[in-house]
Amino acid sequence: MNIAGSWFARIRVSRAIILILAIIGVLTLSIYFNLPKFESSGIHRSRLKLEVLEDLNSLKASDLKFRIEELLQIKGSVSLELRELESKRNSLQVDVGRYHQNIEDLKLELAKQQTELERLKMSIEQAQVAQQEAIERNSPEVAMPKRLFPPASALREVLPELSKQESSACRMNLCFDYSLCALTSGFPIYLYDPEIFEHFETDSFLRTHLAQTFGYNPHTTSDPTRACLFIVLIGNVSKEYLESMLPKLTYWKGDGRNHLLLHVTRGPYGGPPLPNVNVGRAMIAQSSAVDKVFRAHFDLIIPPAMGPPGGDIWQEYSQMVPARRRLLLSFQGQLSTGAPREELDKFVVAHLQTLLTSKTTDKFILDFTCPEQLPASFTVQPLESEWVPCGTESSRATILKSSTYALILAPTNVSIASTPLILSRLVESLKAGAVPVLLGDYLQLPFAETLVWRKAVLHLPKARVTELHLILRAIPDNDLLTMRRQGRLLWERYMGSVQALTDTVVAAIRDRLLIPPLPAEQELSPSVFNSTFVPLKIDNVVPETEAEESLGPIEPPYPSPQYRRNYSLFLTQGFEMWNDWGDPFHLYPQLPFDPLLPSEAKFLGSGLGFRPIGHGAGGSGREFSEALGGNMAREQYTVVMLTYEREQVLLASIARLVGLPYLNKVVVLWNSPKPPAEDLRWPDIGVPVEIIKAGRNSLNNRFLPYDAIETEAILSVDDDAHLRPDEILFGFRVWREQRDRLVGFPGRYHAWDLEHNSWNYNSNYSCELSMVLTGAAFFHKYYAYLYSYWMPQAIREKVDEYMNCEDIAMNFLVSHITRKPPVKVTSRWTFRCPGCPVSLSEDNTHFLERHKCINFFSEVYGYMPLLNTQYRADSILFKTRIPHDKQKCFKFI
Mean pLDDT of 363-367: 94
| pLDDT given for residue 732 in this prediction | 97
**What are the angstrom distances between the C-alpha of 133 and each of 368, 565, 615, 696?**
71, 20, 15, 44
For residue 307, being part of any structural domain is answered with no
pLDDT tens for each residue of 123-136: 777 777 777 777 66
**One domain for residues 780 and 843:** yes
Mean pLDDT of 405-434: 93
pLDDT tens for each residue of 269-328: 777 788 888 999 999 999 999 988 999 999 999 999 988 888 888 988 889 999 999 999
Given a contact cutoff of 8 angstroms between Cβ atoms, the answer to whether 139 and 254 are in contact is: no
What gap in Å lies between CA 451 and CA 494, rounded to an integer? 10
What percent of the chain lies above the pLDDT cut of 70? 86
For residue 660, being part of any structural domain is answered with yes
**One domain for residues 292 and 332:** no
> What is the chain's alpha carbon radius of gyration, rounded to the nearest angstrom?
42
**One domain for residues 254 and 186:** yes
Would you call 807 a catalytic residue per the annotation? yes
Between vectors from CA 71 to CA 67 and to CA 74, what angle results, nearest 5°?
A: 140
| pLDDT given for residue 8 in this prediction | 47
DSSP-assigned beta bridge partners for residue 416: 290
Confidence of residue 201 (pLDDT cuts 50, 70, 90): low
The residue among 115 and 72 whose pLDDT is bigger is 72
For residue 180, being part of any structural domain is answered with yes
Given a contact cutoff of 8 angstroms between Cβ atoms, the answer to whether 886 and 621 are in contact is: yes
Core vs surface per residue 111-150: b (16+ CB within 10 A) or e: ebeebbeebeebbeebeebbeeeeeeeeeeeeeebeeebb
For residue 115, being part of any structural domain is answered with no
Q: For residue 56, give the amino acid letter.
A: L
Mean pLDDT of 712-725: 93
Cα–Cα nearest to 170, from 286, 290, 278, 287: 278
What gap in Å lies between CA 786 and CA 653, rounded to an integer? 28
**One domain for residues 666 and 799:** yes
Q: Which range among 440-454, 528-542, 602-616 has the greatest average pLDDT?
A: 440-454
**One domain for residues 163 and 294:** yes
What gap in Å lies between CA 878 and CA 134, rounded to an integer? 37
pLDDT tens for each residue of 840-854: 455 678 899 999 999
Strand order in the sheet with 776-780: 689-693, 663-670, 637-643, 713-718, 776-780, 743-744, 823-825, 872-873
Mean pLDDT of 58-72: 74
Listed residues 103, 121, 138: the one ending a domain: 103
For residue 647, being part of any structural domain is answered with yes
Given a contact cutoff of 8 angstroms between Cβ atoms, the answer to whether 822 and 814 are in contact is: yes
Mean pLDDT of 768-775: 95
Cα–Cα nearest to 803, from 843, 837, 767, 764: 843
> H or E element: which one contains 416?
strand 416-418
For residue 108, being part of any structural domain is answered with no
For the chain, the first-to-last Cα distance in angstroms comes to 96
Mean pLDDT of 495-512: 95
What gap in Å lies between CA 286 and CA 232, rounded to an integer? 12
Using the predicted structure, report yes or no on whether residue 746 has a pLDDT greater than 50. yes
**One domain for residues 265 and 330:** no
| pLDDT given for residue 791 in this prediction | 95
pLDDT tens for each residue of 386-407: 888 887 888 889 999 999 999 9
| pLDDT given for residue 77 in this prediction | 85
Q: Which range among 98-102, 814-818, 886-890 has the greatest average pLDDT?
A: 814-818
Confidence of residue 34 (pLDDT cuts 50, 70, 90): low
**One domain for residues 363 and 478:** yes
**One domain for residues 327 and 409:** yes
Confidence of residue 243 (pLDDT cuts 50, 70, 90): confident
Q: For residue 96, give the amino acid letter.
A: V
For residue 582, being part of any structural domain is answered with no
**One domain for residues 335 and 202:** no
Listed residues 465, 496, 527: the one ending a domain: 496
For residue 865, being part of any structural domain is answered with yes
| pLDDT given for residue 800 in this prediction | 97
Structural domain boundaries, residue 602: 598-631
Could you say which of 95, 594, 807, 843 is catalytic?
807
Mean pLDDT of 688-700: 95
**One domain for residues 362 and 481:** yes
Q: For residue 747, give the amino acid letter.
A: G
| pLDDT given for residue 589 in this prediction | 94
| pLDDT given for residue 2 in this prediction | 46
Domain tally, the chain: 5
pTM: 0.84
Confidence of residue 254 (pLDDT cuts 50, 70, 90): confident
**One domain for residues 230 and 272:** yes
**Burial (Cβ within 10 Å: 0-12, 13-18, ≥19) of residue 476:** exposed
CATH code of the domain covering residue 371? 3.40.50.2000
Mean pLDDT of 666-687: 93
pLDDT mean across residues, the chain: 86
DSSP assignment string, 513-555: TTPPPPBPPPBP--BSS-TT---EEE--PPP-S-TT-------
Listed residues 255, 277, 301: the one ending a domain: 301
**One domain for residues 294 and 359:** no
